[in-house]
Structure 1
Amino acid sequence: MGKKRKEKKTAANSRVYRTVYALLAGFVGRLFRIHVTGRENEPDDGGFIVCANHTSATDPVVLCYAFKKHQVRFMAKKELFKVPVVSGLVRMLGAFPIDREGKDVGTIKSCVSMVSEGKCMGIFPQGHRYPEVDPRSTPKKNGAALIATKAEATVIPAYIVRKNNKFIFFRKTWVIIGKPISFESLGYDPEASGEYARITDYVFNEICLLGESFDEKTARAHNREIKKAKKAERQAARKAAGEK
């Protein structure tokens, strides 16, 4: 009985998320002036972890907007789940509590289970927001590496581009979605020491490279090419269906 209730609740949360996304995506996109490149890199199947740089409290919203195919779930500080109304909202949107002062082993296990079940998680390796600084100069936490290795999950690097790495309403924001990093590509060796730190450095380097190589004109041209290719695919599919 408990399992059925849990599955039903999860499904309901997903429906709520999709409804909210459909209603608010246009507004959020205009409010934050979000542009996305690399959406073709989002896998059709779930069970992956999105890792990105972190400069603003709005970053989870921005990443949820960027990833259209899947509900990306984020950890939120446990204090939010004690606030009336806010608690219900964050739960409906798929967020879950974490104790940032402790190791919170239970939460880590829940994360591993969710990803293993095909759900998608969003994690900021920096652990905290670091506006107006070079992300390479900030400390990193190994939580994403721990969850990825335990769940044997794919990692999707993403970079949120803002002028001076600072969020301001109506200032343009770009999200770059990088190519998936398979679990095998992480080269995890359970017998070696320092593996979580090594994998964290590897993934965060991929994240930073996305930002460092970003060029807006190139990104816009790339998006036009992707749009053109998808249009050609649709036309070919309609033609093939008509011939049948």
Structure 2
Amino acid sequence: MGTVIFWIIFWILIAAVAFLPLYFIFLFINGLLFVNMKKEYNEDSKYFRFLLNNSTAIAVKLIRIHISLTGREKLPKGRFLLVSNHRSKFDPILTWHVFAKENLSFISKPENFKVPVYGRIIHRCCFMPIDRENPRKALKTIQRAISLIKNDVASVAVYPEGTRNYGEGLLPFHAAVLKIAQKAEVPIVVMTVQGTYEIQKNYPWKRSEVKMDILDVLPPEEIKGVKTNVLADKIAEMMLNNLEGKE
């Protein structure tokens, strides 16, 4: 019996090792054949969204990441703007994994769209590159995000810090991104993420614990007409209180 179990486990491991490269090739071919990187997509693809969510779920299992989420019951039923702190390249990956049903499209730096395989997949899922060095192009991205929400294509996620923060606290916010919620007349979902910075250090020796907290939902009527810098200060204070364990 022991020998039989050994061989069963052996062939399962062989199958798993063989499966991953084949699956990666499958994703690569799909992206290459069916995604035009020069085209701006304004309709989400259920097929590529499935590929994104499915492959991410596999990766989360393999890397041994355990995610605890609090506050999901606060999520609005319709579209929204999600804002969060930003500590690691794993932040958006785990966020779209946790919010798979909500179909999030991220505003992201252009380099992420050059990542092999996944650059094409996220492009087809209406993720948006933003050129912060060019105000006119950045405004166009903001307008596209507003349109995606208004047309019920996807909810949008942004990191107001603009880049990953490797230190304590928060980096100064780019408050203009909050106009997306104001113009689209949708709530702002405020969230914090903790534990993602340690993933690279933990893998493959330790399981990583990631904590996501939905702190509050600011309704459209509450944010209407409020200056974005004032709104940014309020959100930053909320996040800092949570990150510092004050609430």
User: Same fold by TM (over 0.5)?
Assistant: yes
Task: Pick from 149, 156, 159 the counterpart of residue 124 of structure 1.
Answer: 159
After TM superposition, the structure 1 = structure 2 runs for residues 14-25 of structure 1, keeping only pairs within 5 Å, are 14-25=46-57
Task: Pick from 189, 192, 196 the counterpart of residue 159 of structure 1.
Answer: 192
Counterpart amino acid of 2:158?
I
Normalising by the residue count of structure 2, what TM-score does the alignment of the two structures yield?
0.70
The aligned residue for residue 112 of structure 1 is 146
Counterpart amino acid of 2:189?
I
Query: 1:82, CA displacement in angstroms?
Result: 5.5
C-alpha RMSD of the superposition? 2.8
Query: 1:68, CA displacement in angstroms?
Result: 3.7
Q: Distance in 1 between matches of 2:217 and 2:233?
A: 16
Counterpart amino acid of 2:185?
E
Q: Distance in 1 between matches of 2:54 and 2:246?
A: 29
Q: How many pairs were matched up?
A: 200
The aligned residue for residue 126 of structure 2 is 94
With 77-86 and 100-109 compared, the bigger mean Cα shift is at 77-86
After TM superposition, the structure 1 = structure 2 runs for residues 90-239 of structure 1, keeping only pairs within 5 Å, are 90-103=122-135, 104-118=138-152, 119-135=154-170, 138-162=171-195, 166-168=198-200, 169=203, 170-189=207-226, 195-213=227-245
| 1:179 counterpart SS class | strand
Query: 1:166, CA displacement in angstroms?
Result: 4.7
Q: Distance in 2 between matches of 1:58 and 1:79?
A: 15
Long gaps (5+) in structure 1: 1-5, 190-194, 216-244
Query: CA offsets, 1:196-236, max 9 Å, x none?
Result: 11111112222333333489xxxxxxxxxxxxxxxxxxxxx
Q: Distance in 2 between matches of 1:96 and 1:149?
A: 19
Asked if 2 retains the 8 angstrom alpha-carbon contact of 1:125 and 1:204, the reply is no
Long gaps (5+) in structure 2: 1-38
Counterpart amino acid of 2:234?
Y
Percent identical across equivalent pairs?
23
